[in-house]
Amino acid sequence: MSEERTFSPGLAGIIGAETAIGFVDGANGKLLYRGYPIEEVVSKGTYASVLDLLLTGEWHPNVVLEPAKVPPAVLAALRLLPAHAHPMDALRTAISVWGAGERLGWPPTADEARKIAAFAPSALAAFARLRQGREPIDPEPGLGIAAAFLQQLHGTAPDPATARALDAYLMAGAEHGLNASTFAARAIIATRSDIASAICGAIGGLKGPLHGGAPAEVIGQLGEIGSIDRAEDWARGKLARRELIMGFGHRVYRAYDPRAAALRKVAEAMPTRPDWLDLAIGAEEVILRVFEEMKPGRAMKTNVEFYAAAVLQGVGLAPDLFPATFAIARIAGWSAHVIEQAGVDKIIRPDARYIGHPERHLPS
């Protein structure tokens, strides 16, 4: 045991993988998918084209991913879940049951990833309806992933602008480097496990409030603020009490989160601009100013969760569905990383520094 080796809590600063999938340039506020800037991807692509890009490295803007019905075994399992079950648990259960029924081999494949991405939104919508005492419905032919999710959730197909808003959110959330859930997926697949197990593990990581729950909390914050004229006092009070303001600051970004910028454009372009969106835009400007005054030198810029909340509320999702919808988006990135890690084919096994008792013996 070497005492000279450096311990980094949370593995901060440790390079755990080499990847050609996504590049997070926190200092300059850039995010690249296979080299393409996120704002270009969101403005010109669809979730189907982004999934294909992350899996293959090639840009095919017209590629289609047909939304899939919920497999019978998955639907049967969802019916057994209590109504109070967390939607993340329902999504994890759906993928686990699907994986149990498939003959998943090694290495994982892009076709397996596409199957998960095609039925997962349908499974989440089915659970959302079941917990309300309503029967699930099948996706309408010809709809994209985002539109079909909203159609299965609400019972009618959304207007094109609303579907486009959710599609933009799914694209913006599809990939973000070696975050906690992606690392979990890579660690699992590195044991030569299967893609369903890796995605389930990633969902477990994303379920934690430090990773995937912030957009729902942003909605609560906007409710507390209530009106733009109260935003400054609210922000000053939060900072004075050393409380977190969700939707601001990021472990990686030291500039404005490019995903937030892309989603703000989407939110502003939605067909109806409700009062809460005006509140979000106005509150953002006030909060950034208060941060600059009370935390000078701290890089506390708007992150993706702030406008993710605006978009997700705008398309009619209940706040507790936000994390699971994020997981649906991230299936694309997780799957790409799983396939990339399988190509490395080396188990992930870091060391731990022992800080317990020295050798001792049980009493006679």
- Tell me the catalytic residues: 250, 305
Torsion of CA 43, 49, 54, 57, to 10 degrees: -100
| 248: β partners | 302
Residue 302 per-residue DSSP state: B
Please give the DSSP secondary-structure letter assigned to residue 66.
Answer: -
User: Taking the alpha carbons of 200, 204, 206, 212 in that order, is the dihedral positive or negative?
Assistant: positive
Question: Of 210, 238, 206, whose CA–CA distance to 224 is shortest?
Answer: 238
- CA–CA distances in Å: residue 306 to residues 40, 53, 276: 20, 26, 12
DSSP per residue over 225-260, as a string? H-SGGGHHHHHHHHHHTT---TTB--SS-SS--HHH
Q: HSE-up of 100 (CA within 13 Å, CB side)?
A: 12
Q: Residue 28 gets which letter from DSSP?
A: T
For the CA atoms of the chain, what is the radius of gyration?
A: 21
Q: Please write down the long-range contacts of 77-82, taking CB distance under 8 Å and 24 or more positions apart.
A: 78/123, 78/126, 78/127, 78/130, 78/136, 79/130, 81/127, 81/130, 81/131
The CB density around residue 343, as the number of other CB atoms within 10 Å, is 8
Phi/psi for 302 (5° steps) reads -65, 135
Provide the β-strand partners of residue 19. none
